[in-house]
Structure 1
Amino acid sequence: MNMQAVQNFYQNIIDKEKKKLHPLKKKIFIVAILRLLVVLFSIILCYLNWNNRILVGAIILISLLAFILLLKFHNKLFYKKKYSLTLIKIANDEYKALHYDFTPFDGAPEYIQTEHSFSYDLDLFGDRSLFQSINRSITSFGKEYLAHLFLSPYLDKSTILENQESVRELAAKQEWINHFRVLGSLNRNTEEGRFNVNTMFNDKYLLYKQRFWEIMIYLIPAFYIGLSILCAFQLASTLYFIPLWVLTFSINAFSQKHVMQIVDTVSKKSDKLSTYSSLFKAIEKQNFESNLLKNYQEALKKSTAASAAIDKLNRYCSQLNMGMAYPMVLLFNPVLCWGVRYAIKIERWTETYRTHLPYWFDTLAHFDAWNSLSTFAYTHPDYCYPKINTKHFIFEGKELGHPLLDRSLCVTNDVTIAREKYFLVITGANMAGKSTFLRTIGVNHVLACIGAPVYAHSLEVFPGNLVTNLRTTDSLADHESYFFSELKRLKMIIDRLHSGEHLFIILDEILKGTNSEDKQKGSLALMKQLISLNGNGIIATHDLVLGTLEQNYPKNVKNYSFEAEIINDELSFDYKIKEGMAKNMNATFLMKKMGITGID
């Protein structure tokens, strides 16, 4: 598959759904007219036959039935219309994303953490971020889990490969993924952010497991049945129903406080759960091949399917609410002990399924996140799935590029770190591509370790912990200078290496916050310490003195560079990495071009 095929896929969805909309809108209009005509004809016929009460009653009954059927048909048509419109929006948003417009998607700026090991340096969150380009989650659970993957990529080869397998399979199920996204969009709960699965139901029961009420829900209806039988055989007077009703009404009155408490709390929670029922059902009914997908699917089907269990709770809540409405409350409660009966059913449901809820929503979160990654895989058919190696250390890629750069403009580069205690030192002119190259390495490492495809012709990685220092900031709140913040970052790296962690280290311009002489001495000392502690990584610098490390540590350091050329008094960059140290620098040239005088 190529990019044109991907664009055609989404364009075909737009065209197909737009063709559906015209007849749907026409049907909706016709049904609305028919509903109006039913009401008008009913009024006219009732007026003409007002003296015939039986006929008037029949007309009203038939008209009401016809109106209800037309209303249900109208709601079904309206749902289809909303479904088509939502699918068109999804396809349009993806079409924009194919042209690097990610504004329709949430970049999760709330997850920006300046102290994180690498996410802030790599621009993983926020506007125009990697997360925004990938995130297609339709639940807060899915978004949270996807963000967790970005912040804490997997370090275990088998886990990464399992996720790769899941993403591969789902990438081939785009119609199902789009259906899943539409269902989530149509049923999106505005209160979702405050929805806590673990505290949704408590274990304190108001009526359930109370022996008195468990007897009453059977005993009270039995009294009425018994009295009805006696009356039928003329062994008792029907007047006995009056004191019986007063007695049972009084008994039920004692439960009303607890019943209403259950109505007020559980009914609202049931409504929230019902918004996810269609998503659970979509997962339950789909056929999956990969072990990870099947295992999570089984978590929904264990004992009773999640969607069926939620539907059952909805029925209980509906029946309970119906029994609480007038005038049914005057009949159902005293005769059938209706409120207590369904309150107990609801509390029994919570005991049975309360512990299932975290597993259900964990499954939903995983599928929601995997769907985002699989959509990313589908819309980037030229990307590859990296090979995961347990050899420490290896990061070897061919034609690596940054996924946020337009593929038609992005210059790709190769990189090889094939053993431990090994660093690439990259020198080069301003704007020549050093920082972009470092972020390209870091971003593709993150993608590789979460099971996603990477922007490369090929990539082999060891899934070690990534640590970067590309964008150190000072902190006025903590009274920290820029230099002190950088030292803290470097100390964190040293401490983690001392503890035995396998780190992949990416640094840009070490010790930027101090003078040249201190910077040179400190940078050389730091590099020697990182090598001695089995560190691995890439260092970018303007300081050519670091290039001398290759002479002293030929087995541990390799020099590369990004060059700039001045052609016809204009800077020219090819953004290709080359072996050896940089020969051309451009700071003074740029200052002259900007009109800053006094430079020879």
Structure 2
Amino acid sequence: MEEIYNYYKENIEAYTKQVSGLQKKIHLIGSIRLALALGAIVTLWLLWGHNWLFILSILFLYAVPFAILMLYHNKLFNRKTYAESLIQLNTDELKGLDYDFSAFDGAEDKSSGEHDFSLDLDLFGQRSLFQSINRTVTLFGRELLANWFMNPLTDKDSILKRQEAVKELAPQSLLRQHFYVTGIQQKGSKSDLNMLASLTNEETIFANSFLWKVFIWIIPALWILIIIGCAFNLVSYSVPGIYLIICLFVAYFRGKQVNDLYNSVDKMNKILSVYSELMKSIEGDQFQSAELVSISNELSFGKKTASQAIKQLSLYIGGLDQRFSFAGIILNLFYLRDTRHAILLEKWKLEHADDVPRWINALAHFDALCSLGNFSFNHPDYIYPDIADTYFCMEGKALGHPLLNRNVCVKNDIDIKRSPWFLIITGANMAGKSTYLRTIGVNYLLACVGAPAYAKSLVVYPAKMVTSLRTSDSLVSNESYFFAELKRLKMIIDRLQQGEKLFIILDEILKGTNSIDKQKGSIALIKQLVSYKACGIIATHDLVLGTLENEFPEQIKNYRFEADIKDDELSFSYQLREGIAENMNACFLMKKMGITI
């Protein structure tokens, strides 16, 4: 990990020096521009009263370098902003290595108790797994990455293909950081979905109109003839005024339709410019893995690329943006500028209506993969799990939880080689049962997403995972805690009856009822799960459930987390051991707190 820390620190140092150098250049350019402006004013004052053509020529000599320096100043300022964004990103990544992910989006809106496992595994929200991984910069990428975690892959070949893409992106930190910093300039909003949908609207008014195509050439041609005629006294000077009125009528006859067309794409100009730059960074033959090659190919067609097409669209929108300026109105009257841009925009929409969704999907795909590549880069000690062919297998050595500090995280193994098979985990309060369940669930999810897992070795079969660790009651739905849990368990049984192959993780079955009911119900449920040839892990305080291993020695295995009491002190090793728990700590803790037993 020291190498990763040093990488980000060195980046921060390098980009800080770059910003300092750019700041000095910007200050120098600003000083020169000020000197030019003052020089122009002094020159104008000294030459006042001389020939105006001579004065304008001298001022032009000031204006040209001033304009060039202004463009150079803007370029330097953009480079400075880019470098500052890289400093911030690398600073945030350093914080992330120390488990502070607050700079990144945790997609709290995606959290749902109805989902198979997202709430139980702290998948979304603050200090969540998603927040630790998410580096998406587009709304579409964020949605896709969240969907990958909520609906992990269940096909071996698909997982292996994604692993290859993540492996290829992991070392390409310059590309990933460029992509992030470019995209973060304009993250967009949910309204972009509707605006981009308008690009696929094929309704046309101007592009397929023969009359308007004739008008855009006849109007300027007649202006040229009229001006020539007036110059040679062949045309009355009243004609230009009459023709101007005619042009005004023609130019704004379809003004409402031009405005509607413009309004449908107006606010997209900035975001499209950013999308164009993002697409440009991933176009070409620079990738090797099948998934990344496919993404790159989606952004190319013929001799043009998606970034070029999007850039062209941005220019068309920018052209319409100037239609109400003084110059825009004059140009519209003399050669129907608005209509020309409307025709170009509609032609673009007709040509690329089917391409836009494909381009956006490719961009989202790359955006999501960059997050997984960054996660892999930040955790060089993580491994890419092997994917088993038959249900069920989950064998792993030294599994840890990615959100627990690496310096104190206790790692444990898991061994499920066939179906049906259940691990019954017994143990005292605070001994580590729930953390173990979440560790297994999170690493299983990472494996099925195609990301590296926190383990020394890991083999999994990508079945659908269902958990019940954090069931709660609901005042809104008028549901008790117990009924909510029963609904969850019924959902699992129903899916097993339908033939689904599940990986099940349960914590303290039937917590909401009395001990006798709980014991009978838990035993009955486990027997039913075994009868459906299911696999999973069940944690419990009820030591009686440990006796099921005697009845099902080929389907159930007991493990425990012990609370060790020595010299009137309680300690936890958090290490998984075989067998049924021997020590419980409730009475001990009550006595320590002064509660009479």
Alignment of 1:174-323 (within 5 A): 174-189=173-188, 191=189, 194-196=192-194, 199-201=197-199, 202-225=201-224, 236-237=234-235, 239=237, 240-285=239-284, 287-303=286-302, 304-323=304-323
Q: Does residue 5 in structure 1 map to residue 3 in structure 2?
A: yes
Q: Using the TM superposition, name which of 473-482 and 319-328 deviates more.
A: 319-328
Provide the residue aligned with 1:44 in structure 2. 42
The letter for the 2-side match of 1:306 is A
Q: CA deviation at 1:309?
A: 0.9
* Residues 456-475 of structure 1 deviation map (CA, whole Å, 9 limit, x = unaligned): 01110000000011111001
Flag the 1:71–1:192 CA change in 2: closer, same or farther, 3 A.
farther
- The 8 Å contact of residues 412 and 576 in structure 1, kept in 2 or not, is answered as yes
Q: CA deviation at 1:278?
A: 1.0
Cα deviation, residue 127, structure 1: 1.2
Q: Distance in 2 between matches of 1:90 and 1:328?
A: 41
Q: Any conservation in 1 of the 2:284–2:296 contact (CA below 8 Å)?
A: no
Q: Which residue of 2 aligns with 1:374?
A: 373
| 1:456 aligned onto 2:482 | no
Aligned residue type for 2:365: H
Corresponding residue SS for 2:106: coil
Please give the residue correspondences for 1:31-110 in structure 2 after superposition, counting only pairs within 5 Å: 31-52=29-50, 53-110=52-109
Q: Distance in 1 between matches of 2:158 and 2:98?
A: 32
Q: Decide whether aligned partners of structure 1 residues 328 and 405 sit closer, same or farther in structure 2, where only a CA change above 3 A counts.
A: closer
Q: Secondary structure at the match of 2:423?
A: strand
**1:507 partner amino acid:** L
Please say which of residues 276-285 and 498-507 is displaced more in the overlay: 276-285
SS at match of 1:117: coil
Q: SS state of the match for residue 106, structure 1?
A: coil
- Is 1:169 the equivalent of 2:168? yes
Letter in 1 for 2:337: W
Q: What displacement does 1:334 show?
A: 3.2
Aligned residue-pair number: 593
Of 26, 29, 46 in structure 1, the residue corresponding to residue 27 of structure 2 is 29
Q: Deviations over 1:8-35 (max 9, x none)?
A: 1111101111111222111111111112
Determine whether 1:420 maps to 2:400: no
Amino acid at match of 2:26: I
Match for 2:319: what amino acid? Q
The one-letter amino acid of 1:210's match is S
Q: In 2 relative to 1, CA 328–449 (structure 1 residues): closer, same or farther, beyond 3 Å?
A: closer
1:51 deviation in Å? Answer: 1.4
Q: Which moved more, 1:511-520 or 1:301-310?
A: 301-310
Task: Return the alpha-carbon distance in structure 2 between the equivalents of residues 136 and 327 of structure 1.
Answer: 43
Q: Matched residue of 1:283: which SS?
A: coil
Q: Secondary structure at the match of 1:575?
A: coil
Relative to structure 1, the CA distance from residue 329 to residue 490 in structure 2 (aligned partners, 3 Å threshold; closer, same or farther) is same
Shift of 1:238: 6.8
Q: Deviations over 1:346-383 (max 9, x none)?
A: 11111222222211111111111111111110111011
In the alignment, the residues of structure 1 paired with residue 190 and residue 60 of structure 2 have an alpha-carbon distance, to the nearest angstrom, of 41
Between stretches 220-229 and 106-115, larger displacement belongs to: 220-229
State the alpha-carbon separation in 1 of the partners of residues 85 and 66 from structure 2: 28
Assess if the C-alpha contact under 8 Å between 1:200 and 1:269 holds in 2: no
Structure 2 unaligned segments of length 5 or more: list them: none
Alignment partners' CA distance in 1, 2:7 and 2:137: 21
1:12 counterpart letter in structure 2 = E
In 1: Cα distance, 2:130 partner to 2:495 partner: 27
The amino acid of 2:486's aligned partner reads L
Q: Residue 470 of structure 1 corresponds to which residue in structure 2?
A: 469
CA–CA distance in structure 1, aligned partners of residues 344 and 538 of structure 2: 64
CA deviation digits over 1:453-496, x for unaligned, max 9?
00001110000000011111001111110110110000000000
**C-alpha distance 363-395 of structure 1, shift in aligned 2 (>3 A):** same
Unaligned runs of 5+ residues in structure 1 are none
Tell whether the 8 Å contact from 1:197 to 1:358 is kept in structure 2 after alignment. Answer: no
Alignment check: 8 A CA contact 1:470 1:508 kept: yes
Mapped contact 1:426–1:539 kept (Cα < 8 A): yes
TM-score for the superposition, normalised by structure 2: 0.96
TM superposition shift of 1:67: 2.2
Give the Å deviation of 1:327: 4.2
Give 1:316 shift: 2.0
Conserved? CA contact 2:192–2:268, under 8 Å: no
d(CA) in 2 for partners of 1:328, 1:369:
41
What is the match of residue 404 of structure 1? 403
TM-superposition CA deviations, 1:156-184 (whole Å, max 9, x none): 11111111000000001011101111111
Cα offsets for 1:35-91 (capped at 9, x unmatched): 211111111100110112112212332323222211111111111111111111111
Which secondary structure state, in structure 1, belongs to the residue aligned with residue 562 of structure 2? strand
Q: Match for 1:537: what amino acid? A: G
SS, match of residue 141 in structure 1: helix
**Secondary structure of 2:574's partner?**
strand
Give the equivalent residue in structure 2 for 1:348. 347
Question: SS where residue 315 of structure 2 aligns?
Answer: helix
Change (3 A) 1:6 1:41: same
